[in-house]
Amino acid sequence: MRQAGRALTLAAGIAAMALTAGAAAAAGNLAARNPAASDLAPSDPITSDPVTGDPAAGEKVFKECRSCHQVGAGARNGIGPHLDKLFGRQAGSLEGFAYSLSLRRKGSQGLVWNEETLDIYLSKPQAYVPGTRMSFRGMPDEQARHDLIAYLREASAEAPAEDPTAPPSPRDEIGAIAMSIEGDPDFGEYLSNECVTCHQPSGRADGIPSIVGWPKVDFVRALFEYKTNVRSHEVMRMVTRNLGNDEIAALAAYFGSLSPQ
C-alpha cells in the first residue's frame, strides 16, 4: 500500500503532505455538519448500473487531492484552485488562479463542473483536458470517483475564504529560512535550466508535474520535503541536495512568476 501510494504520488508529483491549516479546519467542520447524503447522491449517466458515492469514503480519497486543493469553509487557492462552490462552476473561471490555457478554453466552450463532467475528468484528466496543469494521472476506480464526488458535493457547499488568492502565511517548519528570503527570479531562471529538461515552463504536465505558478509556500515546502526525503523521489532528492536556501527561494520566485500557457 505504501508503495502503491508512493507510485501514485510520483506521477501526481504530490507526496503525502501534512494537511494545510485551512483544509484541516474544513475537515473538522465537515464531520460536525454531515448533511443528509440522500440529497446529494450523484446520478450516474455514464453507466446503466448507477454507483452511489459514499461521502465518508470520498473524504479518504480526497487525501490524494488535498496537497493541492482546499475545500470547505475558508478554502483558498494553493497549487490548485479551491473547490468551494464547485458544482455549477464554469471550468477555469476562478479569478486570481492561473489555469492552463486548455482548461480556460474548455470552460469558455461551455465546460461546467458537475457530477458527470467531474467523473469523466477525474478518470483521466489529461485525456479530457489535454494540457491541463493538474498533475494527476487519473482515478480509474469508478467507485472511488463516485465517493470522491459525493464528498466534494458536501464539502464544497461551504464558502471560500474572503480572499481565496491571499497566500497562506508561512509556518515555522522546514524551509522557514528559504520562505523568508526574497528570491531573485533572475538567478532562479538560471537555476531553472536544470528543471526544465523535465518540467515544462509552459506548465504542461505530460507525466511530470507542472511547477509553474505555485504559491511560494508550497514550492519551498515541496523542495524541502524532497531534500529531507519526506517525499520520496530519487531524481528530486538528488536535485534538491545541491540547492540551498537562496537557490530554493530563487526557484520559487522564478517559477511562481511564470504563467501557464
Q: Using CB under 8 A as the criterion, which residues of the chain lie in contact with another protein when the complex forms?
A: 3-4, 6-8, 10-11, 137, 187, 190-191, 193-194, 196-200, 202, 204-208, 234-235, 237-239, 241-242, 261
Query: What are phi and psi for residue 104, nearest 5 degrees?
Result: -60, -40
Q: Residue 97 or 187: which CB sits closer to another protein?
A: 187
| Separation of alpha carbons 209 and 248, rounded Å | 17
Q: How far is the CB of 11 from another protein (least distance, A)?
A: 5
Q: How far is the CB of 242 from another protein (least distance, A)?
A: 6
Q: Residue 131 or 160: which CB sits closer to another protein?
A: 131
Give the number of C-alpha atoms closer than 13 A to the C-alpha of residue 127, restricted to the C-beta side: 12
Q: How far is the CB of 206 from another protein (least distance, A)?
A: 4
Q: Residue 152 or 258: which CB sits closer to another protein?
A: 258
Give the number of C-alpha atoms closer than 13 A to the C-alpha of residue 219, restricted to the C-beta side: 24
Q: Residue 37 or 198: which CB sits closer to another protein?
A: 198
Q: How far is the CB of 12 from another protein (least distance, A)?
A: 9
Q: How far is the CB of 122 from another protein (least distance, A)?
A: 17
Q: Residue 7 or 127: which CB sits closer to another protein?
A: 7
